[in-house]
Structure 1
Amino acid sequence: MLFPPAKPVAAKIKSNIRLTPEDAESDIRHIVLDFGEQPHGLLEGQTLAVVPPGTSANGQPHHLRNYSVASTRHGETAGFNDVAFTVKRVVEARDNGIYRGIASNYLCDAGPGDPVQCVGPFGNAFLLPLHPEAKLLMICVGTGVAPFRSFIQHRLRHQQPAADPWILLYGGRSPQEMAYHDELGLLPASLVDVRFAYSRVPEHPKTYVHDLLLHAGQEVASLLDDTETYIYICGLRALEDGVMSAFETICTASQKNWSELRKAMQEQGRLHIETY
């Protein structure tokens, strides 16, 4: 670990941009941290923990909160020592009142120049394959899109002309509630084939990422036959059951055993799941 809890690194807010409209249900931010002259050592797919200032009601330091990197190792801005995160403001109604996430509200309210103490990096599995010929199937909902944005940003800056396009299946309530929706929608299909699933758009059938998987059943089955295929799943834990069920259905239809294939892919480092 480059920055242990006893010696966190001090970064500064470079920019804090709201990605969702003011009238959207979710307040999602694109926050860029400037590390100055201090190398951050972050790779695409890793996380960095933020140390919220102050203490809890019982006088203890606040818990660290991990955030996935949403930019390439070479910086959100090419040539700069900065790192981007995707942060959703947490405000929830609970039995004992309104709960406000300490770290998320701290970051969402921070402005340019404000200090942020960070610990990490963390993660040695949810990383890009080393060989550029790998085929990626990325599946996410909500802020689970953050690591995939970092993957895609890296690919855009290091294009391999002969490489097959990656596939991104991204689900959310509506385009307005989805971080980077327009940015991802403008990507060249020759590099990344982006497919959206909307579950709360009026006069539009509810669609989830597992529906996108099932719709592309034969295509997914072919990818599962290819030892160069890597699958990444990120987002809320509720995502996982539907996606696993879809894979099982696809495998059954193509005379494959999903349980055995899933185990083999995980052992080979070709299936990565980060849900929370």
Structure 2
Amino acid sequence: MSAPALLATPLPADRLDSLARLTDGLDKDSLWWLSGYAAGLARAGGGLAAAVQAPVADARSGERLSIVYGSQTGNAKRLAEQLAGQAEAAGLNVRLLRADAYPTRELKNERLLYLVVSTQGDGDPSDDARGLVEFIAGKRAPELKQLSYAVLGLGDSSYPQFCAIGHKLDARLAELGAHRLFARGDADLDLETVAAPWLQQALAQAKETLKPAAAHLATVTPLRPLPSAPAHHRDAPFAAELIGNQRLTQAIAGRYRSDKDVRHIELSLEGSGLHYQPGDALGLWPRNPPQLVEAVLHTLDLDGDAAVAHAGQELPLRQWLSEKRELTKLARPFVASHAAHARSDELNRLLAPDQAAALTDLLANSQVIDLLQRYDGHWSADELVAALRPLTPRLYSIASSQKLVGDEVHLTVAHLQYETAAGTRWGAASHQLASAAEGDRLPVFVEHNERFRLPADGSRDVIMIGPGTGVAPFRGFVQERAADGAGGRNWLLFGNPHFRTDFLYQTEWQAALKSGQLHRLDLAFSRDQSHKVYVQHRLRERGRELYDWLQNGAHLYVCGDATRMAKDVHAALVAAIAEHGGKSAEDAEDYLNQLQQQGRYARDVY
């Protein structure tokens, strides 16, 4: 949303710049809250403590809890917000900050700090935590003998460096002299198992360390009532009606036959009250394919109608496996459990530290049913439900702008389905979406992503790098910019295997070029020639133009695969900036880091 033109204002130019940075990317509800906050400041004569509805306490860091989160998909943010809310309700003086907003100069004065940080891919920090991790790990980090801290790490045990960033920060803070209040938590995808007791312990320790602030409260006077919590969210999803399911890839016989089944999905949000901005994600609570559930029951010779009680809930085993437990993602803890049930020396050897690569390959290329079929073992229904990880929602980058589609939300979904010697395998959510018929209802919610926002200044240029289904958010970006009448240029770089079969939204991009909504389109179809060409090659070829756009204030976005593409694209960006900016590789990295800190280099990688 473009900022409105300002009329005569008492603000000096530097304060206007600060205001623009403050409001850049905020949604409507946040702006209304900010307007009320400003009104409260004015009513109270400009005093901060008199404007915020929070306990009045000494603002010195010695009497304050700082909670800092680094989040890629929203889980770390959600847990940090939960802890902050509980601490505030207990009367504690709390500040909650995203990692890239944390003023590192204040670290030397902190007394109580909780870090909630995720690890991405092969041991990488979330994009918003990169700068803070580098600072704490680097030579500029101060001694921290006055600091008490605790760390909650989030990760995926399918990767060798599980929760590596949490480990790194925990060890480094101790090395700098800080006092660890209690043991680090390492939460897997079933994060509540570890996160819930960690949060409980964190709150109890904060209460003991800090005295609850005085009960005196000062109030804010908003221009309008503050928005209430949405009726539908992660834990109370909306049953959205499927109104469109179209295959985007083409199955042309011969050399150009597409190996991919990519779908354009349209869902109705009418009556939900849900709102989103381009850059946000749609969460879906999936159901496992019925054929897969029956295969597990058959392999283990279990009764699907048998009642199983677990964690205070009793359901038939078939319902547990259909709606509550992960079957399409294999995790290390389940491999360890099945090794014991099957008494398998082979599986036990895979769990050894020197077999990390082999275990990673097994986790990446096998599902629960594969393990059960290859290694015969006896499981009771109760044991199986307890050992499997809870089913988690899947997030899809939204491929539309509500300014164009209204009460609809569009997705670009790669349907995961492949054949093995033992039968067909599917991805739970992608198969659910691809198999859905018009009129079916699917449980969804909106996951906001404030880090992946269009510039508030519509005159800024944007560069969008999105191979494969990573192009999804940029469809929404272009729609939004067109609806706003943004004057900045739009440059899209897209890649996929074949032009004839895999050019997602081809006619839309061509129409956007013709109408002037898209100003530049660079394509990389990797298998249409003898040598492979990817988007990172196009970036190097267009390095001069890329650097010129960035020098003139363009915002840069990358969306797609985190494992390989994002790293290759980042390396290409560094090389182009170094070559055409006359910089060393280290200075080019610093240049990109500065863009990221300014909100001009954003990634949505998964």
TM-score, normalised to structure 1's length? 0.89
Contact 2:280–2:446 (CA<8 Å) still a contact in 1? no
* Offset of residue 92 of structure 1: 4.4
Shift of 1:157: 2.2
- Aligned to 2:265, what secondary structure does the other structure show? strand
Contact 2:234 2:283 in 1 (8 A): no
| 1:5-47 Cα deviation digits (max 9, x unpaired) | 3211111001111111245211111110011222221110100
Distance in 1 (CA, whole Å) between partners of 2:404 and 2:442 is 17
Residue 186 (structure 1) aligned with residue 511 (structure 2): yes
Report if aligned partners of 2:245, 2:263 keep a CA contact under 8 Å in 1.
yes
Q: 1:234 & 1:252 partners in 2: Cα distance?
A: 22
Q: Which of these residues, 497, 501, 508, is aligned with residue 173 of structure 1?
A: 497
What does the per-residue CA deviation read over 1:83-123, in whole Å, with 9 as the maximum and x for residues that have no partner? 10111101246798653100000000101110010123331
| CA distance in 1 between partners of 2:423 and 2:557 (Å) | 36
**Shift in CA distance, 117/135, structure 1 to aligned 2, threshold 3 Å:** same
Correspondences of 1:126-205 after superposition (within 5 Å) = 126-160=452-486, 163-175=487-499, 176-188=501-513, 190-192=516-518, 193-201=520-528, 203=529, 205=531
For 1:117, what is the secondary structure of its paired residue? strand
Listed as ranges, the matches of 1:28-39 within 5 Å are 28-39=262-273
Q: Which amino acid aligns with 1:49?
A: G
Corresponding residue for residue 260 of structure 1 = 590
Q: Any conservation in 2 of the 1:25–1:177 contact (CA below 8 Å)?
A: no
Q: Distance in 2 between matches of 1:129 and 1:266?
A: 13
* C-alpha contact 1:74 1:81 (8 A) present in aligned 2: no
Larger relative contact order, structure 1 or 2 (CA cutoff 8 Å, min sep 6): 1
Instruction: Mark the runs of 5 or more structure 1 residues left unpaired by the alignment.
Output: none
C-alpha contact 2:468 2:560 (8 A) present in aligned 1? yes
- 1:81 and 1:151 map into 2 onto residues whose CA distance is 17
Show CA shifts across 1:218-271 (max 9, x none).
111212222x21100011121122212222222222213211111111111110
User: Percent identity at matched positions?
Assistant: 28
Partner of 1:45: 279
Matches within 5 A, 1:2-17: 2=230, 3-17=232-246
One-letter code of the match for 1:263? N
Letter in 2 for 1:126: F
Compare the two structures and name the one with the higher helix fraction.
Answer: 2
1:212 matched residue in structure 2: 538
- Give the TM-score, by structure 2 length: 0.42
- Residue equivalent to 1:72: 401
Match of 2:549 in 1: 223
Instruction: Quote the Cα distance in structure 2 between the aligned partners of 1:165 and 1:272.
Output: 17
Q: What CA distance in whole angstroms lies between the structure 1 residues aligned with 2:410 and 2:589?
A: 36
Does 53-62 or 251-260 show the bigger shift?
A: 53-62
Superimposed CA distance per residue, residues 26-72 of structure 1 (whole angstroms, 9 cap, x where no aligned partner):
11111100112222211101001101233236557632110111000
CA contact (8 A) 1:75 1:82 kept: no
Residues 98 and 267 from structure 1, CA distance in 2 versus in 1: closer, same or farther, beyond 3 angstroms?
same
SS at match of 2:447: strand
1:96-107 alignment runs, 5 A limit = 98-107=424-433
Given that residues 275 and 446 in structure 2 are in contact (C-alpha distance below 8 angstroms), is that contact kept between their aligned partners in structure 1?
Answer: no
Q: Is the 8 A contact 2:524 2:533 kept in 1?
A: yes
State how far apart, in whole Å, the 1-side matches of 2:497 and 2:398 are: 23
Question: By how many angstroms is 1:205 displaced?
Answer: 4.7
More strand by share: 1
Do the aligned residues in 1 keep the contact of 2:277 with 2:402 (CA within 8 Å)? yes
User: In structure 2, how many angstroms separate the alpha carbons of the residues matched to 1:34 and 1:191?
Assistant: 26
* More divergent stretch after superposition (205-214 vs 130-139): 205-214
What is the distance in 2 between the residues matched to 1:43 and 1:261?
28
Contact 1:15/1:31 (CA < 8 Å) preserved in 2? yes
Query: Which whole-Å CA distance do the structure 2 matches of 1:191 and 1:13 have between them?
Result: 28
RMSD of aligned residue pairs (Cα, Å) = 2.2
CA, structure 1 residues 204+150, in 2 after alignment: closer, same or farther (shift >3 Å)? farther
Q: Which runs of 5+ in 2 are unaligned?
A: 1-228, 252-256, 288-321, 328-383
Aligned to 1:272: 602
**2: CA distance, partners of 1:184 / 1:120:** 26
- 1:188 aligned counterpart, secondary structure: helix
- 1:88–1:104 contact (8 Å) kept in structure 2: yes
Of 260, 267, 272 in structure 2, the residue corresponding to residue 26 of structure 1 is 260
Quote the Cα distance in structure 1 between the aligned partners of 2:569 and 2:447: 28
Cα distance between partner residues in 2 of 1:221 and 1:10: 45
Name the stretch that deviates more: 140-149 or 244-253. Answer: 244-253
Say which SS state the counterpart of residue 573 (structure 2) adopts.
Answer: helix
What is the alpha-carbon distance in structure 2 between the residues aligned to residue 191 and residue 174 of structure 1?
25
1:204 to 1:73, Cα distance in 2 relative to 1, 3 A: farther
Amino acid aligned to 2:582: Q
